[in-house]
């Protein structure tokens, strides 16, 4: 397993997009449909990828389509900035993360040969803003001295969700009211900082299972549930790639979609086993019972169907992250899943 743990600034994404050189030249290995490099981030939102890696499902479906000896590699990043830079530079082929990460890159590449679109969703589940500050009951209670950890400031799904919550609480024009109080930290580090009590970080907008781990400590409570901000369930994790990769590698792309489909079925049939794979893959010391409880949570769905992703798109149009918001979720997902009841 090849794990790259890096964090890049959002500015580097835009610089790389402007240059575009590495993105434009197809590599011989990809043209021969012999290699695929997949990325995920820190959280329990990528169980299908854990299953796909463990059971070699991409290799299985590629072989069924006549592609033998396909090289599959796996990489872990923190935040959409790092993932998208890796995709742009050609270091990976398949990116994953929150819907805003997909939308940012789709908005900047649409209409070009390098256009980025979604492959499918992976899960719908809430993420929680937790705090150790007893005075903070709602986001209105945050003081300037409070620091809120998110995987990546301004661009991560948590950072966007905080802006959406601020817009609802303080008015649309004040969506960025809490931005200056956010800091970028990988979820494991943010959890350690919150639980230690010795860090300036008093709150964490996190991901499963770290958010549940935080709540197991006395004195930690939830300020905000993302489902409340969205007025219902929403996609948490999605996968995306470039039109170039899909077009140059039709069989490999078909094998990938088939692998995600099978992995989703496997997760839903045995969530405890999937939780065990996550523990193994991430070298986590969490008890299996705890991890299985998170995977099987009442608000958690393992599904390829995009859910309420357009709410992100519309908001990102108002906050300036998307110059021309899409008219439909199908604008930023490839046709293979257009028959699903997405939103």
Which CATH number characterizes residue 136's domain? 3.40.190.10
Distance CA 247, CA 228 (A): 39
Q: Write the CB contacts of 62 (distance below 8 Å, at least 6 apart in sequence).
A: 33, 68, 70, 251, 252, 255
User: Which residue in this structure is represented by tokens 């008015």?
Assistant: 171
Task: Tell whether 292 is covered by a domain.
Answer: yes
Q: Over the stretch 167-225, which tens digit does the pLDDT of each residue have?
A: 999 999 999 999 999 999 988 899 999 999 888 999 999 899 999 999 999 999 999 99
Question: Which of 204, 229, 254 represents a domain boundary (last residue)?
Answer: 229
Q: Do residues 18 and 119 both lie within one domain?
A: yes
Q: Do residues 212 and 256 both lie within one domain?
A: no
Q: Do residues 242 and 320 both lie within one domain?
A: yes
- Structural domain for 160, as ranges: 128-229
Position 306 pLDDT exceeds 70 = yes
Q: Do residues 165 and 38 both lie within one domain?
A: no
Tell me the pairing of strands 147-150 and 182-184: parallel
Q: Over the stretch 250-282, which tens digit does the pLDDT of each residue have?
A: 999 999 999 999 999 999 999 999 999 999 988
Q: Do residues 68 and 50 both lie within one domain?
A: yes
Distance CA 223, CA 128 (A): 8
């Amino acid at each position: 397993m090849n794990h790259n743990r890096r964090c890049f600034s959002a500015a580097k994404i835009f610089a790389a997009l402007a240059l575009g050189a590495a993105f434009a030249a197809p590599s011989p290995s990809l043209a021969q449909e012999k290699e695929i490099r997949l990325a995920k981030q820190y959280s329990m939102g990528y169980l299908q990828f854990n299953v796909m890696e463990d059971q070699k499902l991409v290799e299985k479906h590629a072989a069924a389509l006549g592609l033998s000896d396909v090289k599959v590699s796996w990489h872990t990043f923190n935040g959409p900035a790092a993932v998208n830079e890796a995709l742009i530079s050609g270091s990976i082929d398949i990116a994953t993360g929150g819907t805003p990460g997909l939308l940012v890159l789709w908005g900047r590449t649409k209409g070009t040969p390098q256009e980025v679109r979604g492959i499918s969703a992976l899960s719908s589940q809430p993420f929680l803003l937790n705090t150790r500050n007893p005075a903070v009951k709602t986001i209105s209670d945050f003081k300037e001295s409070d620091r809120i950890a998110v995987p990546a400031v301004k661009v991560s799904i948590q950072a966007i969700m905080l802006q959406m919550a601020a817009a609802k609480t303080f008015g649309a024009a004040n969506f960025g009211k809490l931005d200056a109080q956010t800091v970028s930290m990988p979820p494991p580090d943010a959890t350690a900082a919150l639980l230690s009590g010795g860090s300036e970080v008093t709150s964490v907008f996190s991901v499963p299972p770290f958010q549940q781990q935080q709540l197991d400590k006395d004195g930690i409570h939830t300020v905000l549930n993302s489902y409340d901000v969205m007025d219902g369930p929403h996609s948490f994790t999605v996968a995306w790639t470039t039109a170039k990769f899909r077009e140059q590698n039709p069989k490999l792309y078909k094998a990938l979609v088939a692998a995600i489909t099978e992995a989703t079925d496997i997760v839903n049939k045995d969530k405890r086993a999937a939780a065990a794979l996550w523990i193994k893959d991430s070298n986590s010391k969490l008890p299996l019972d705890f991890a299985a409880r998170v995977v099987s949570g009442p608000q958690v769905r393992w599904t390829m169907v995009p859910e309420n992703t357009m709410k992100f798109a519309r908001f990102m149009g108002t906050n300036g992250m998307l110059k021309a918001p899409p008219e439909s979720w199908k604008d930023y997902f490839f046709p293979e899943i257009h028959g699903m009841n997405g939103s």
